[in-house]
Each structure stands twice: as C-alpha cells, then as structure tokens.
A and B are shown apart, each in its own frame.
Chain A
C-alpha cells in the first residue's frame, strides 16, 4: 500500500484553517494580496480594477465590458504580437472580463515564471493601448452579440426583467450596451475610461499559488507599476451611478420572439445589496427554492408538469431594498441542473399565476406565442444586489 506521503494531513477532517492572506502596497500604489498554496507549481495572478458595468457613462453603455477585451492589443512596452509571443512562451492562460462592480485581468502560469508574469500583467493592465483597428473589430463583434441577444429568448427575458425592475437606472441598463451606445465608443472614449478606472492606486493585484511570500514581496517591491499614482494629481471620484429607483411596472410583460423554441419566465423581486448581512441567508433560501434538482421549484408536481401556481414562499423584499450608489451590488448564483429534468406540459405553464408580487416585483414571459411545451425544463434563481429572480424555462 502506498503511504499517504506528500500531502499535509489534517488531524480533524473539519479542522482546515482559513487561507492566510498577506497584504501590502507595491511602489506604484497597487494593493497586493498574496496567498500561498504549494500543491502544484502554478501561480494565478488577478488584477482587479473598479471598472465594472456600473461605471458605464451615460450614452456609452458597454464601454466597461468592451475595455477588458482589448488588453491583448498592445501596451506602452509591447505590441500585440509581443504580448501574444510572451504569453505563448510562458505557456500561460490569460482571461479578462468585467462584472457590475469591477473588471479583471487574470493570468495563470508556472510558478517559475512568476515575476515575468507580474511584470507582463502590470504592463498590460496599466499602460494598455487601444488601436482603432482592434476597437473596430471588438465593436463589430459586440454589435453582432447584441443582435444575437434579440433573437435569444433567454437573453430577452433577462433583459426585460432588468428593465421591468430597474427601469432606466443603473441595473436596468444593458451591460453589453445598445447598438447606438456601442457605435459611439471610440479609441478616445476607451482611453479616457481606462485612464480613469484602471489606476494602480484604486486597483488590486492578487497572487495565489506556489509562491514564497517573503521572497516574493521583496522581489515584487522592485517591480513598480509602469504607471504610478504620481502620474495624476488626484484620483478620479468614483462614478455617480444612476440612483436605483425601484418602481416596477405593474402587470405581466410578454415578449414574443419569432422562432423561439423555449418559453422563458422570470419573476423578479427587489432585494438587498451584495454587502448586506442578509445575503448568506438569501443564498440558502435561493438554494432551497431553486438551487438544484432537490429544490422546491424543481420538484415536479404530481401531474408531472411545471406548475407556477403552486404556492411558494417567495422571498419578501427587504426594507433596505432602496440601495443606492456603490452599495447597490449585484451578485449572481445560477442553479441550473446538469441535465434538463424530464416531464413538462404546457397546460400548467400557460395557466400560471404568479403569487407574491407586490410593487417591488415584476414578471416577464418570453415565448413564441402559443407554445406546446414538452421535453425538459430548467430552473434557477438569480440573486442580484437589488433583485431576486426566479426563472424557469421549458423546451418546446
């Protein structure tokens, strides 16, 4: 029998300690968090800036989600080709993206290349260049994506629910932008957005993996960010996000999507922000109601069909639902099963009654009109900073 060598054993299976996080500030002003994990010779670097969708300027919706797509296109020190070459030489994995509150640039690579990777990541994140040709390419791709969402019932239902709950305020606006707003985004706009939102002194670099903390901190102190706080006089204020006014429209909204093969239903409620102490309880509630195949929402009725009229203890909105500004965070937890559950009949779905609606709730149905539903359905719950949405779909 092979001994259990090489892996640290915990005396008690439940006695596993929390991760030890070392924190410091690098010379360029970047906040650094460092977590050691020596299980494999890899390190994961994550640069995060407060540059999420909530920072989209009015009229330029979509700019926050477009900007991270351009980090490979060149920097002050490297051309796009040089960035690609170095990433390939390192055998590294690079991913970038954005959410409501922030945007990130993540790099995974062998720990032997840690410092090369840090220098590359800092250069890409802070001195990015935005060539017109690259912007035109991502803009074109984004416009096609927006057009694709218009034909996708699931996306239509999500967008319509956001509009129903939040109107024209921050969370009601489309993170991908609109055709008009995306067409307005040019190199100058992106450079200005990047300059304001990807500042070292408002950003954070996380290093996790096979790294020796003390040695790394000494060495990292010599890798200053290419752009320092001194480059600007004062930090830009955070954006004055549009107020979160919750005044959903009454009634059931129905959107017809030609050629759709699924009917999508959303029921949404305004709720608490991500930093609320109630959020863990809400997550548990979401799991019970719609978080997996054993949830109540997923349990088929005795008739074997979807039955939205079945009484459900829908989440009641918190008295602190009118969260504004940066406290109005949006979390997301999906609960789709690995398989489409069997069963499904159109009759109970067509006759659905939505209970528990009040002035903070909204319901949306997106369908191809008179669906004959059968086959499979899926289910889930979205918990946003200001809304909880139960959702179900059934294949036609």
Chain B
C-alpha cells in the first residue's frame, strides 16, 4: 500500500499549511480553506458566506483587467470555489510551474478579496445567487430535500438549520458593508488552511508560503456574528412533513443527526449506512423494493459536516403507492434492520465499499487535497489521511450494532415526504 505522508505547519499569523508531496506528475492541487461557512451568516443575512465566496472568487481586476481565476487559468490551471456549512474553499489544479502565481492569488485574496468600488459586480452576483437558489428549489429531490431535512433535524438557531447556499431574502438583504466586514473578519490567515498536494517538496511549499503569507496580519480571533459550537438536535420526535411537489411518485426521506466528521461515531455511521443501504442489493432495498414491493429504489446517504452529520435513508415509491404507505413501510424496514444487527457478510461488504470509496478519493490529487483540508479543519490531524483506511477495517461489529440500537431508539429523526400534487390534492 502506498503511503501518503502529510506535514502540517503553522505560520506565526495562524495560517495552517498542509503539504502532501506526490511527485509522479508535474501537477499540484491547492485548496485554501477558510473556517467561514454559512454557520457564520448573521440571522438576517442567510447566504452572506456564499455571497462573499462568489465575489472573492473573482476578486478585483488587476492592472491588465484580469480577475483571480483569469490569472490562474492564464498560468495553465483551473479553479473553483465552494461554500458549505462550515467552510469557504478556493481550490485549484495547476502545473507545478504555476505554484508561485496561484499562491500569490491566494495571498492577494486575503488582503484584497473584493473590489470596494465594483457595485455592478455585487449586484450581478446577487442575481446569480438568487438564480442558483431558484434552480435548487426546482429540484425537490436534490439539494432542496436535504435543506428541508436540516430545517427539521436541527432547531432554529443551530448552525446547520439554514442551507449553506442561503435564502432569497437573506441574499437580498446583504449590503456591500456586510460583505466587506465578512471578508475582513473571516478570509484571514488565522482562519485559513492552505493544502498543497502534488509535485512539490515540503521545504519548497513552506518556503513559498512563508514568503507570500507570513507578513499578512493574523486577523480577528473571534469573528463577529459567529455561532460558536453547536446546539443539540431536536430532542422530541418531529411530526412527519408532507410536501406537495412536482414529482411523479412519492419520495420519502428519514434522517438522523449523527456525529460529525472524524469522530468515532462518524466511522460507525459511515459503515452502517453502507451495510444497510448501499447498492441495489442492500438489505434496505431488499426489504422495501423486492419483498414489500413498495418502492422502486431505496438508498442511504451520509451528509458529512463538522459538528454533526446527517444520516438519511430514502425510498421512491412504485407508481400507485401512496406516500403514507411508503413512509410506513420504510420506517418499518428501517426499524427491523436497526434491531437485527449486522450480519458478518453485510459488514464485510460495507468495509469493502468504504475502502474503495476512500481510495477513489485518495487517487485524485484534488479530492485528496479536499480530504486533507477536512482532516485539518475538523480534527486538526491531516496526517490521518494515511490511516483512514485502517479505521474502516478496524471498526468493531459490536460497536456498530450498539450504534444502530441508539439510532433506532433516538426520537429525533426527521421524516419528510414529497408527494405528487395529484395525491396531495
């Protein structure tokens, strides 16, 4: 097995540098990750972090009229950005010769993320964001479903209650001053992790990063409007929610809050969901598709976040099956599966699936950089990249069975069904 040694350093201003050399190809994947996700959105401005990410992605134009992505692309790279509940990330993949150019862009983003005079750019991005939200709302079985689940699963005021992408009213309420203040507070070395994976040495990475970032001010220790920590999820059973939607058949989602990324319970959840609900022949699919004939498809998902993750099991009805019957059948199947423990064969294939999923991530420079960032930001241990596979292999079957029992008895699952409009009427 190839090892992927990782080194983590911290500059005096708080910037964390994570380096994972891999010199087989002349490419580098970078990720500048800020602990500044939607959890830091002020209550009246849901979407501020996302708004800030859009504007900071482009940044101000330089003397030759180039934006940040222009400069990276001009050097032969490609770049993207994303906002989650916990982070804003700017990633790039580029030839090793462009290392200095890309890191110079990231250093400038820290000092001058936005053009203070570009009023038109701000309004354009406001329209783009609202359009994004409109498109998400039009696909109820995708992102919109998980947003609804999180509203049910996490109480109002919890950092994961609101969607990372924001809300239309929040986006409309954001002002130029809000964005500037957010960038000044959060896009700073103290809250940043720079991951570099690829064709460079540790010494080279630390040298270039030190030259470009060491002189930057650390930034504020505690960002204003931050929701620190996490409140527990709902402690009482929430009633089932039925949402009329433009769907041909009913779709039901059942969800639980489980431990956040990197915690021991997270690995149990990751194995449990694969054992019960991964693939067309999963025990869940056999129960509600093959035996009960209620669903045409059934599967599970684990949405990973820092302080709590969301374990979701979902089923799509066969035509003619009403949402109430589907939901009852799905809940019954889940209850039976969680009660019976895991047969050795199910655990074996869950481990195998977890391992192959892990290696699919690790074999890609960009996705490996993403995992390094996650391990550094959430558990402050990026070196665990090299031991993640062993965690799946070593998971104790009794611990997984105990975890399943806790899940079965947990009263706070969210239940949500999207119902064809004809049925709802």
Contacts and interface: CB of A to CB of B under 8 A. Distances in A.
Contacts of A16: 24-26
Interface stretch (B158-166, B168-176, B358-366, B396-404): B358-366
Given A294-B73, A342-B125, A91 B356 contact: yes
B356 A93 contact: yes
A7 B66 CA distance: 37
Interface in A73-102: 81, 84-85, 87-93
Interface stretch (B3-11, B40-48, B102-110, B413-421): B3-11
Contact of A7 (B24, B74, B363): B24
Contact of A42 (B131, B201, B356): B356
A242 to B, nearest CB: 37
Interface in A17-73: 38-42, 72
Contacts of B383: 2
Interface in B255-314: 278-282, 290
Given A1-B202, A110-B355, A375-B127, 18 more contacts: A6-B2, A6-B4, A7-B2, A7-B5, A8-B24, A10-B23, A40-B363, A41-B1, A41-B359, A42-B359, A42-B363, A90-B349, A92-B356, A292-B73, A294-B74, A338-B80, A339-B69, A342-B58
Among B121, B201, B355, find the residue whose CB has the most chain A CB atoms closer than 10 A. B355
B425 interface: no
Contact of A339 (B54, B199, B354): B54
Contacts of A38: 2
A134 B25 CA distance: 44
Given A13-B199, A39-B2, A342 B57 contact: no
B70 A294 contact: yes
A109 B356 contact: yes
A261 B58 CA distance: 25
Contacts of A81: 281, 290
B148 interface: no
6 contacts: A10-B199, A39-B22, A40-B363, A85-B281, A88-B353, A89-B352
A109 B353 CA distance: 9
Contacts of A303: none
B73 to A, nearest CB: 5
B356 A13 contact: no
Contact of A6 (B3, B74, B279, B345): B3
Interface residues of A, number: 46
A10 B26 CA distance: 9
Contacts, number: 138
A4 interface: yes
Contacts of A5: 3, 5
Contacts of B201: 4
Interface in B338-381: 345, 349, 352-357, 359-360, 362-363
Contact of B353 (A40, A91, A337): A91
B278 A88 contact: yes
Contact of A90 (B6, B22, B24, B352): B352
Given A1-B7, A292-B73, A395-B131, A343 B124 contact: yes
B5 A93 contact: no
A14 B357 CA distance: 31
Given A13-B199, A39-B24, A88-B279, A108 B124 contact: no
A87 B279 CA distance: 8
B23 A8 contact: yes
B231 interface: no
Contact of B359 (A89, A110, A293, A304): A110
Among A13, A85, A337, find the residue whose CB has the most chain B CB atoms closer than 10 A. A13
B181 interface: no
B21 interface: yes
B349 A88 contact: yes
B79 interface: yes
A340 interface: yes
B251 to A, nearest CB: 17
A16 B95 CA distance: 13
Given A42-B356, A376-B128, A2 B1 contact: no
Interface in B1-60: 1-7, 21-26, 54, 57-58
B352 A91 contact: yes
A292 B94 CA distance: 14
B127 A374 contact: yes
A88 B281 contact: yes
A351 interface: no
B280 A3 contact: no
B87 to A, nearest CB: 17
A9 interface: yes
Among A84, A88, A89, find the residue whose CB has the most chain B CB atoms closer than 10 A. A88
Contacts of A4: 5, 21, 23, 201-202
Contacts of A72: 280
B96 interface: yes
Contacts of B359: 40-42, 110
B67 interface: yes
Nearest to A109: B356
A340 B128 contact: yes
A13 B99 CA distance: 13
Contacts of B23: 4, 7-10, 13
Contacts of A339: 54, 57-58, 69, 81, 128
A4 B198 CA distance: 11
Nearest to A300: B65
Nearest to A342: B124
Contact of B96 (A13, A93, A109, A374): A13
A126 to B, nearest CB: 22
Contacts of A91: 349, 352-357
B21 A7 contact: yes
Contacts of A90: 349, 352
Contact of A338 (B79, B128, B357): B79
A375 B7 contact: no
Interface string A340-381: 101100000000000000000000000000000011100000
Interface in A310-346: 337-340, 342-343
Nearest to B274: A91
Among A89, A93, A304, find the residue whose CB has the most chain B CB atoms closer than 10 A. A89
A338 B5 CA distance: 31
Nearest to A113: B352
Contact of A39 (B7, B120, B199, B363): B363
Interface in A204-243: none
A185 B162 CA distance: 48
